[in-house]
Structure 1
Amino acid sequence: MKYQQRKKALVLLADGTIFYGKSIGIEGTATGEICFNTGMTGYQEIFTDPSYYGQIMVTANAHIGNYGVNDREVESDGIKISGLVVRNFSFEHSRVDSDGNLKDWFEKHNLVAISDVDTRALVSYIRDNGAMNAIISTEVDNIDALKVQLAEVPSMEGLELASKVSTKEPYFVGDENAEFKIAALDIGIKKNILRNLAKRGAYIKVYPYNASFEDLHAWNPDGYFISNGPGDPEPLHEAQEVAKEIIKRDLPLFGICLGHQVIALANGISTYKMHNGHRGINHPVKNLLTGKGEITSQNHGFAINREDTESHPDVEITHVHLNDQTVAGIRMKNKNCFSVQYHPEASPGPHDAEYLFDQFIENVKNAKAVVS
């Protein structure tokens, strides 16, 4: 598509700030909380990550679409972001094992995306002023109507979104003859988490977001997992009750991202909405137990309260984010439970933290040995 043939488009932020650009060819309007990801690769995995549901993504990398798409590189059943803002959009792609170009993929999923935006300025603005609701549109001549529409978009704070992305019915992943059975509560789970568990000898049954502890326990699993996902963890009362029951019975439990926040809430530790969150694949974390540093993949707009965590008699901080000292991991001192605020499965990102899956399986193995 030639540059001069493309329709004008804009980004309108909740505070009235406007950035202009061009449509990539899919006309329309999209709303959501605007945030940015600093990763230099892995755009397809980001777009399909359920944790991004309800968000307009701004990519800090200047070139998007240059390697096309691959049908195997998805983290869910489809695109989960509500809209996309980029600097340079590549209509042509070059990759040996690509299954197509990004524009066709967006058209298939009806995703509104705009390019030729000064994303460097936009990212800087969000970084300084915080993540906020926004609207992207090709209706550039009707800004007043867009402002009215934007005003009706709910705040991410207090918003329950797990129900929008969770499975409707339980399903299985892995080899049914595997050594361990893991019950996973899906509040926005990524496929690569399931792959990492399965390749470590786990047979996983994935349950809907509103499943009860009794639902999970009836399968007689060896361990429990609470997944990542979108939105505010505070409204997820059912998931918190599941975590409380697992912890009370001292069963092996592992949580990632939103699951980490749910476990914290189950222990009476509060959560809060961050200024602009952590989203990227090069976030530095220190493991306080080993003293080692990890480069991690992160994607969250909420975090757990550090003061609450430090004052909790039964919870220990195991990992901290080195950029802002936020809590990046916890474990319970007297229970078989731990969690992290980042993504050890990466996809995209480094593999520094994959050992956490090994740690969870080891916990499950030890608990199973005691029972038997």
Structure 2
Amino acid sequence: MSLVYSEEQRLLADSAREFLAARSPVAAQRQLRDTAQQPGYDPQLWQEAVGLGWSGIPFPEALGGLAFGCMGLGPVFEAIGGNLAATPLLSSVVLAGSLLHLAGSPAQQDQWLTALISGERRLALALDEKPRHDPAQTALAATKVAGGYRLEGDKCFVIDGLGADAYLVAARTAGQAGDEQGISVFLLPADTPGLHINTLALIDSRNCAWLRLRDVQVPDAALLGSAGAAWSALEESLDRGRACLAAELLGAADHLFAMTLGYLKTRVQFDAPIGSFQALQHRAARLHVELQLARSAVMAGLSALEDQHLSAGERGRLVGLAKWKAGEVAALVSNEAVQMHGGIGVTDELDVGLYLKRIRVAQACLGDSDFQCARYGALKSSEN
């Protein structure tokens, strides 16, 4: 298990930081928020990122990818977190792309995955149905009919769901909510009759949708893999997304900590920089230690996804630990950043608030701290 990036991955990290610093500074995200531009990110920026190979990082060369694996995604998402850059990399590539790669048929991959890697099309995963993430609680009904399935239900918190070309919709073909077995995934083009897409506003002002499916009819060819057997591929795809979110949270917390240290060194009170006050030094030292612990957890989670010697449960635990630790530390850093900046820390003109809002959403996305702890315990118990 590697807890440091390789030379290639460090070069990728440098390239991502330089690219986003030049093309997607925090000011660009503020402008996207203030102008409420759709689809919530800069399409030209995304095409340039595709040109850099970001959309092909986790996929094999046979499909047009770069075969860099999940460890290759880590430094990119750290840079994304540091710049608050809005891209569909998580939604379209990591989540939907991974699910297509793991469960899709060759025909589905030829039609959609190749176009996704080339940036011609964008997909989104429609999974959650309640305020809290819990894939096993999938209840949207997929009823077998002649020649296909009829889907009925709602999906909320669909990341980058506005303007997507198609959706991977998790639905229940057997069992009941709470069962892992019986969940299937269907590929629905955005223009499917009966599919209604609505805007869902979040505090980080990112692209998020709420889907309503009313008497949606899909052919058998829309099903990924076998009916009722999507759980394994779905969990692996979600774990990739959780590890990438952990890296994004780490990148955001790292940058926010650096901003705060800079403020402590320049803000003067009582004729002395406030960073010279011992109480603030102790708080900053604690944040530094916590960030290093979070980095170790994130690196272990990314590395676990590529370690074939680990069981699925062990990989899930390490990824969950990474998501939990990165989220807890990012929340601590954002809270302390507001406190240490004082009154200006709660004003919109300071970027601290933008980081705090994104961190709060990323914490909850694909499972908050409570979910990760509960899942960790369940996975541990299942192996004993």
Both proteins in one fold, TM over 0.5: no
Bigger proportion of residues as helix: 2
Choose between structure 1 and 2: higher strand proportion: 1
- TM-score w.r.t. length of structure 2: 0.26
Answer 1 or 2: higher relative contact order, Cα 8 Å, separation at least 6: 2
Q: State TM-score, norm by structure 1.
A: 0.27
